[in-house]
Structure 1
Amino acid sequence: MSKNESEYVIMKALKKIYCSRFLKKANVRSNSGKMVCIREEYHRRIQRILNASGNDKATLFSYIDNVMTEHFSTYKKAIDVLDEEYKEQSIF
């Protein structure tokens, strides 16, 4: 297998992983959350990603929810440390 063929196979695999993690329907209803503002640039990028995917189940809400779910899963230990440090701070 040539280097270009190997890179193509890797990119196809990465695309499949990305789509399975982020371009899927969220497990919660969008009206059960809170409204947030995001940068206009990020909104445009996400919309392009969603449009390019051709997946009608992937919405702006579900994309952001999936990204945040992955973020919290990846950084859970660091977030737990931050939370513990916060709890230890005196309010006085």
Structure 2
Amino acid sequence: MKNLFKNSKLPVKIWQYRDIFLQPTEFIARNGKSVYISEDFHRKISRIVFILTDGKITISDYMYNVPKQYFHDFGEDIKALHIEKQKTIL
């Protein structure tokens, strides 16, 4: 999976966005946890999902794909910050 966000100087290509974020997943919403998002984000995500994919994916699919890519892109940084935080002061 390509790192779309980190160290990117070129705009993300449309096909990259589709291939990463607008794909169905095996995730079943009722097996997950509830999270709250603003009405504005919900409206925007709903439009992205239903208009750009002709209803072929769900909001849950999209909301699964976004953090999946985020953790792929920033996982090593998160691990490094965690290790740094765990160091003793003395």
What's the TM-score, normalizing by structure 2?
A: 0.72
CA spacing shift, 1:53–1:83, aligned 2, 3 Å: same
* Letter aligned with residue 52 of structure 1: I
1:35 offset after TM fit, Å? 0.2
Gaps in structure 1 of 5+ consecutive residues: 1-10
* Letter aligned with residue 32 of structure 2: G
State which structure, 1 or 2, has the greater radius of gyration over its C-alpha atoms: 1
Partner Cα distance (1:87, 1:59) in 2: 38
Query: Taking CA–CA contacts closer than 8 Å with sequence separation of 6 or more, which of the two structures ends up with the larger relative contact order?
Result: 2
Correspondence for 2:62: 63
1:14 offset after TM fit, Å? 2.1
- Which region of structure 1 is more displaced relative to structure 2, 74-83 or 62-71? 74-83
Q: How does 1:31-70 map to 2 (within 5 A)?
A: 31-70=30-69
- Which region of structure 1 is more displaced relative to structure 2, 51-60 or 66-75? 51-60
Cα root mean square deviation, aligned: 2.4
Gaps in structure 2 of 5+ consecutive residues: 1-10
Q: How many residues align?
A: 79
Query: Greater share of helix residues, 1 or 2?
Result: 1
* Letter aligned with residue 35 of structure 2: V
Structure 1 moving runs of 4+ over 3 Å: 85-90
What's the TM-score, normalizing by structure 1?
A: 0.71
* Letter aligned with residue 69 of structure 2: E
CA spacing shift, 1:53–1:79, aligned 2, 3 Å: same
Percentage of identical aligned residues: 28
